[in-house]
Chains A and B, each alone.
Chain A
Amino acid sequence: MTDLPLNRYAQEDWDRLAARQARQQRIVQIVLYVTLTILVIVYSMPSIGVLITSFKSNAEISRAGLWSAPAQLNFANYEEAWVNGNVRTYALNSFLVTIPATALSIALGVLLGYVFSQMPFRGSEALFIVIVAGMFFPPQIVLVPLFRLFNTIGLYDTLWPMIIVHVAFGLPICTLITRNFFATVPSALREAAIIDGANEGQILVQVMLPISLPALAVLATLQFTWIWNDFLWPLIFTQSDSSRTIMVGLITLKGQYSVAWGVQGAMSVIASLPTLFIFIFFQRYFISGLTLGAVKG
């Protein structure tokens, strides 16, 4: 009888405390949301600016500046950028480099990753490190010799040097990710296949690859994005318009459209569309690639 009021007080205290905590938490949350929203708006301004400018006519830009919302969606800049034959050539070249280089770097990386994870040999650990270290090499350290090499064998100013170099420089990340993925596959799977009389080639193609599709998707999104966005190699290895890729082409055309801001904006958007597509539809793979490649060596 006597302890009932005590309990009631305790209960009320408790409720008050909980209510206060909930209130505090809500305030913290609101502050976080407001801060984040402001941050994100500021952070997105550059991208938004380009996007809206690409829809504005020159007259509108000179009247209202770069950063106002367009009065109407005007696709003339896109038309101008696209009708200009060079942009199409650049984009086509970018695809001609990016697709084979992405596919080949993954295919060859799979071979290395398979050997390093399933059939290690003496010194394979050291070799693995030498290859993965390539991920960290600034390309400048091989610029001069590669420039000389491709000049000597007559491939300068073609698409080949870019394909070859991107495959070679893609091997570190492809090897790392496939090796780490294959290492998680239970060895019983491979042993069973060996007992069934399968050779290593069959194990790789029929056992390993079908279960590695997520890892391959990760690599495809990563490699496509890096290669498409690359600027340095085409700058070094190409000279004529017919072999430029889009990122270098973009900078080349800038002079031609130096006052046509809208066209410049449209070209930037066009050049970013393929990687934006990947970002929107395959974001999960792309993001896990960024962290997978990173988190374990």
Chain B
Amino acid sequence: MARSQRLWRIGFLAIPLTLYFMIVIVPLVYSFFFSLTDWNGFNPEYNFVGLGNFERIFSDPLFGNAIKNTVIWIAIALTVPFLGGLGLALILHQGLRGANLYKSLFYLPICLSLAVIGQIWIWIYQPRWGLLNLTLNGIGLEDATRAWLGDPHTALAAVMLAWVWQQLGLGMVIFLAGLTSVPTELTDAAQIDGANYWQNLRYVVVPLLQPSTVVVVALAVINSLKSFDIVYIMTGGGPFHSSDTLAMFMYDESFKKYYMGYGSAISVVLFLIALVVIAFYFRQIRALERIYD
């Protein structure tokens, strides 16, 4: 019996684990390996360059630039979709009639591809016909109009806005799910004790939303680190690298310039940052499980 169970277990694990290790874990290790080489993507041969790629990383102004943009990206992701999502969830949780229709319209962008979203927003920023410049002209702000994606001062912000447009719905969905798990007895009790709406929010609801908050924070950071598709489609990281993110920069170095060794070194840095988020996420989740179980 125990033996047959063990056989079943091995049988169940064999294919998925092999696949996961071959496609995820082993390549991850290989990225560390290639980061020590000068592989160019074509030749089967490569040379070991030691930590040369990492030395280059830390003296490369373009890398510093990509880090800076990624940090900005994370900061925005932690504020706008986070607070906006929470705000929308709080409003839509009040049982307004027709709330479901509003909810649907807010999370519609989640089901759209970033490739499509990028396209849509290119239209909005289009210098002559774009909705943004038309609106600005319409309200008499002609001076503010510009080629939003072609201007190094606005390109990053313009791409981020398109991305935030999608992420807002995600934050809202997760907070809405969290809100349904806040017991009404608690908020009612606080109200009877004389707490007003904001006190109730601050001292009862928000603390109880902690699990959702952990998730939204972790997702915001991770999705920022992954931000590639929409940058690639809208600006390609330009103009003059003004909208480069780490993921975009890594792609450029590896698949445009074919510095695959250098690209691997960038991906190692990306992985180490992701690891911090993963550790945070699992620690928080563990702590929460201890509280709630």
CB contacts (< 8 Å) of B24 on chain A: these are 134, 137, 142, 168-169
Residue interface bits B114-153, CB-to-A below 8 A is 1, else 0? 1111011101101001110010000000000000000000
Partner of B96, one of A32, A40, A199, A296: A32
A273-297 interface code vs B (CB 8 A; 1 in, 0 out) = 0011011000100111011001111
Contacts of A140 in B (CB 8 A): 226, 228, 246-247, 250-251, 266-267, 270
Chain B, residues 215-253, CB within 8 Å of chain A (1/0): the string is 100110010011011001100000000000011001100
Task: List residues of chain B with CB within 8 A of the CB of A291.
Answer: 173-174, 176-177
Contact B114 A231 (CB under 8 A): yes
Closest B residue to A111 by CB, please name it. B12
Interface residues on A, range: 35 or more
Q: Chain B interface secondary structure, helix, strand, loop or mixed?
A: helix
A245 shortest CB reach to chain B, Å:
10
Contact at A278–B12, with CB atoms within 8 Å? no
User: Given A108-B19, A247-B113, A254-B119: A146 and B105 within 8 A (CB)?
Assistant: no
Q: Is A287 within 8 A of B251, CB to CB?
A: no
Chain A residue nearest to B285 in the complex (CB)? A297
A143: which B residues are within 8 A, CB to CB? 250-251, 254-255, 263, 267
0/1 interface trace, chain A 149-187, chain B, CB 8 Å (1 if under): 100000000000000110111010001000000000000
- Answer whether residue A200 sits at the interface, using C-beta atoms and an 8 A cutoff: yes
The stretch among B28-36, B184-192, B198-206 that forms the contact with chain A is B28-36
Q: Which residue of B lies closest to A268 (CB)?
A: B116
Per-position contact with B for A8-49: 1 when CB-CB < 8 Å, else 0? Answer: 000000000000000000000100110010001001111101
Structural contact, B285 and A168, CB atoms closer than 8 A: no
Least Cβ–Cβ distance between B90 and chain A, in angstroms: 11
Contacts of A271 in B (CB 8 A): 113, 115-116
Q: Does B165 contact A (CB under 8 A)?
A: yes
**In the complex, what residues of A have CB within 8 A of residue B278's CB?**
133, 136
In the complex, per-residue mask of B3-30: 1 if CB is within 8 Å of any chain A CB, else 0: 0110011011101110110111111101
A47 / chain B contacts, CB cutoff of 8 Å: 108-109, 112, 120
Which of chain A's residues have a CB closer than 8 A to the CB of B107? 287
| Least Cβ–Cβ distance between A110 and chain B, in angstroms | 9
Query: A74: which B residues are within 8 A, CB to CB?
Result: none
Closest residue to B23 on the A side, CB-wise?
Answer: A168
Q: Is A114 an interface residue (CB 8 A)?
A: yes
What separation, in Å, do the CA atoms of A264 and B233 have in the docked complex?
Answer: 14
> Which one of B8, B15, B109 contacts A201 once the chains associate, using CB atoms below 8 Å?
B8
* A236→B131 contact, CB < 8 A: no
Bound-state CA distance A143–B104 (Å) is 35
Check if A115 sits within 8 Å of B4, measured CB to CB: no
For B26, list chain A residues within 8 Å (CB).
145
- Cα–Cα distance between A102 and B277 once the two chains are bound (Å): 27
A129, CB-defined interface residue at 8 Å: yes
A131 an interface residue at 8 Å Cβ cutoff? yes
CA separation between A287 and B89, bound complex, in Å? 14
Q: Is A5 an interface residue (CB 8 A)?
A: no
Is there an interface contact between A29 and B254, defined as CB atoms closer than 8 Å? no
Contacts of B126 in A (CB 8 A): 66
Given A134-B24, A141-B271, A143-B267, A295 and B113 contact (CB-CB distance below 8 Å): no
Q: Are A275 and B113 in contact (CB under 8 A)?
A: yes
Chain A 243-259 per-residue mask, 1 if CB under 8 angstroms from chain B, else 0: 00001101100100000
Contact residue among B11, B104, B129, B176 (Cβ-Cβ distance under 8 Å from A65): B129
**In the complex, A123 Cα to B186 Cα: how many Å?**
39
Q: In this assembly, does A272 line the interface, its C-beta being within 8 Å of a C-beta of chain B? A: yes
Task: Report chain A residues within 8 Å CB of B48.
Answer: none
Interface residues of B (CB under 8 A from A): 4-5, 8-9, 11-13, 15-17, 19-20, 22-28, 30-31, 34, 39, 41, 91-92, 94, 96, 102, 104-117, 119-121, 123-124, 126, 129-131, 134, 165, 170, 173-174, 176-178, 211-212, 215, 218-219, 222, 225-226, 228-229, 232-233, 246-247, 250-251, 254-255, 260, 263-264, 266-268, 270-271, 274, 277-278, 281-282, 285-286, 289
- Identify 7 new A-B residue pairs, CB closer than 8 A, beyond the known A109-B16, A140-B247: A46-B124, A46-B165, A49-B120, A111-B16, A138-B270, A247-B115, A268-B116
A-B contact pairs, 14 of them (CB 8 A): A46-B123, A112-B13, A115-B12, A144-B267, A164-B23, A229-B114, A229-B115, A230-B113, A251-B233, A275-B111, A291-B173, A291-B174, A294-B212, A295-B174
